[in-house]
Structure 1
Amino acid sequence: MSPDTPPAARPRRRALRTTGLIAVAALLGLVGGTAVGYRIQADREPTPLPPLNQPGLAYPAKPLPKGEEPDPLPASEDLQAKAQGDLRKLLVPRPAGAKKDKFADRDGWQSVSEFASHFDRPGDALSYQLELGIRRVAVTSWATGGDRVSEIRLVQYRAGDELGAQDYVAEQQDYMPDAEFADSEGEPLEGSADGRYYVFPVQREAGYEDLYEARAYFHRGDIAVEVFLYDTEKIPEKDIRSLAERQLGRL
């Protein structure tokens, strides 16, 4: 033993060397076992795979003869074709006898910044809409009867990784049950997978007439739809449902 080497250091070094030898032996055993395993598999006959359970293909095995191809889907039934044109044409037309609402947009289009200005925090709303891929907004509104005002917005989003229309509608529906809004879960809109309509409690404020409100939210493809009704008299549930269903039918 060298005089400059502490005695206590020896057992530790031996322990390390013993551990190293065990590790090497284990590695050799693993490699050897793997090699033997591969050898056994190589000597065996291959096991056939089970047949694939594939139903008959829905399309013809061979192309149809020229002249027998099915007609393309008409534009009236093709949402993508309709949605790429003038979005304003998909809006429910103003009812006969209704007057154009004085707050309505003149040409039926609403800028993205104007759309965002309807939210409590316009700057955050604008950033969020840009993240969702908002493309354009078509809007119509009209006044009927005494103080009834109807408004519909079609908010179209760009194709991409984000499901803009679906996500936007889901977010709006999330806060509808809050007491300051509809204070209810609403009712499902027939013909729509996720659409719902809501009738709000009356809003009363000293010095003003009672305000009644109803809304509907749904989406179809890349278009999110918002339907609003305002009145100084109670709004029947069937009114918002009927208007929303008519707009859904246009899409």
Structure 2
Amino acid sequence: MAGGVSSEAVAVAVAGGVSSEAVAVAVAGGVSSEAVAVPVAEAVSSETVAVPAAEPVAPAAPKRSRGPLLWAVARWTAAVLVCGGLGAGTATGITSMERTDVPGLATESDGRWDYPKLSLPALPEGSPRPFTEGNEGEVHHADLRKLLLPAPAGATVDPKLNGGWVGVDQYLSRYGKEHRTELKQDLADAALRHITARGWTMPDGTRTSIHLLRFNSVAYAEAFKDESLEVGEADGALLDGTEDQDVLGDLESEINVAYTAVYGYEEPKPYGPEQTLWAYVQAGDTLALVTQTRKGGALAVPFKQTVVLQNQLLG
């Protein structure tokens, strides 16, 4: 063997707990057999037991600073919070805006008028609503003037029809002269209590008038509507300035307020420079007449809207 170490010495060294690597190093370095044998003899002595030396522990790697990592996390957290806050603020802003105020969501007007918020007036203490149990005459006990539809935004109110009481002659002026005398007598016989009215003109020239007639009971109101005005009949009373009338069948089907009835009419072509639309609303002891006249042709949307709202106030 190279270096002069015998095979017996190598075997003893390995048996005594010396690693083969150590022996190989010794051999390669030219260590004598005696040098190897001495530690081996000591290691196997009966008086001492050799304890293998602990393997050297590799030095701990230097701790990495957490400062940059924490700073990056803090920056991303702040960014998320800012973005979330901006998103929430934007959502809140949009949901609190009207549709027409949101860019890209604006819609063109569908022709409806801007009426003020409506509410039913208070009743005298102990008085029932017109269509409740025990009110057989279906009487409106509220102030009739407060059941009259207010004028919409932009309207110029007629000073003669400003929501107060009006006389019978003023109401009859809405009909052709050939009807007035007979209708006046019928109103005297029908236990009419009073009439209130409001009228206005819109910027586009549409003229609107609403008359509410209150009778002593639903029976008197229906009798005047059916027998005097002949509402629903082809030869019923015509409004002043009209020569014919067509029934607006869709108006009755589209307006559905409990315990009330609606009858709509339009002036058919040829109607001259202006056209008139009108409707009756029968609601218990009260009969309403709603008219709209406009040069070139009356508009269906604001007319239906006005009739619906007046009907709801009476229902």
Question: Residue in 2 aligned with 1:141?
Answer: 199
Tell me if structure 2 keeps the 8 A contact 1:169–1:218: no
C-alpha distance in structure 2 between counterparts of 1:94 and 1:106, whole Å: 9
The worse-fitting range, judged by mean Cα deviation, of 180-189 and 220-229 is: 180-189
Match of 2:129 among 78, 92, 96: 78
Structure index of larger Rg: 2
Question: Residue in 1 aligned with 2:181?
Answer: 123
Tell me if structure 2 keeps the 8 A contact 1:101–1:149: no
- 1:146 to partner: Cα distance: 2.6
Runs of 4+ deviating beyond 4 Å: 176-179, 202-205
- 1:139 to partner: Cα distance: 0.3
Distance 1:90 1:198, change over 3 A: same
3-state SS in 2 of match to 1:88: helix
How many residues matched?
171
Alignment gaps of 5+ in structure 2: 1-121
Distance 1:244 1:106, change over 3 A: closer
Tell me if structure 1 keeps the 8 A contact 2:211–2:290: yes
- For the aligned residue pairs, the C-alpha RMSD in angstroms reads 3.0
Which amino acid is 1:94 matched to?
A
- 1:141 to partner: Cα distance: 0.5
The percent identity for this pair of structures is 20
Q: How does 1:154-193 map to 2 (within 5 A)?
A: 154-159=212-217, 163-170=219-226, 171-175=230-234, 180-184=243-247, 186-187=249-250, 188=252, 190-192=255-257, 193=260
Q: How does 1:1-251 map to 2 (within 5 A)?
A: 75=123, 78-79=129-130, 83-101=140-158, 104-106=160-162, 108-119=164-175, 120=177, 121-159=179-217, 163-170=219-226, 171-175=230-234, 180-184=243-247, 186-187=249-250, 188=252, 190-192=255-257, 193-205=260-272, 210-251=273-314
C-alpha distance in structure 1 between counterparts of 2:139 and 2:155, whole Å: 26
Tell me if structure 1 keeps the 8 A contact 2:139–2:216: no
Query: 1:32-84, CA deviations, whole angstroms, 9 ceiling, x for partnerless residues?
Result: xxxxxxxxxxxxxxxxxxxxxxxxxxxxxxxxxxxxxxxxxx84982379833
TM-score in terms of structure 1 length: 0.58
TM-score in terms of structure 2 length: 0.48
Tell me if structure 2 keeps the 8 A contact 1:211–1:232: yes
3-state SS in 2 of match to 1:173: coil
C-alpha distance in structure 1 between counterparts of 2:171 and 2:220, whole Å: 15
Distance 1:155 1:235, change over 3 A: same
3-state SS in 2 of match to 1:241: helix
- 1:233 to partner: Cα distance: 2.9
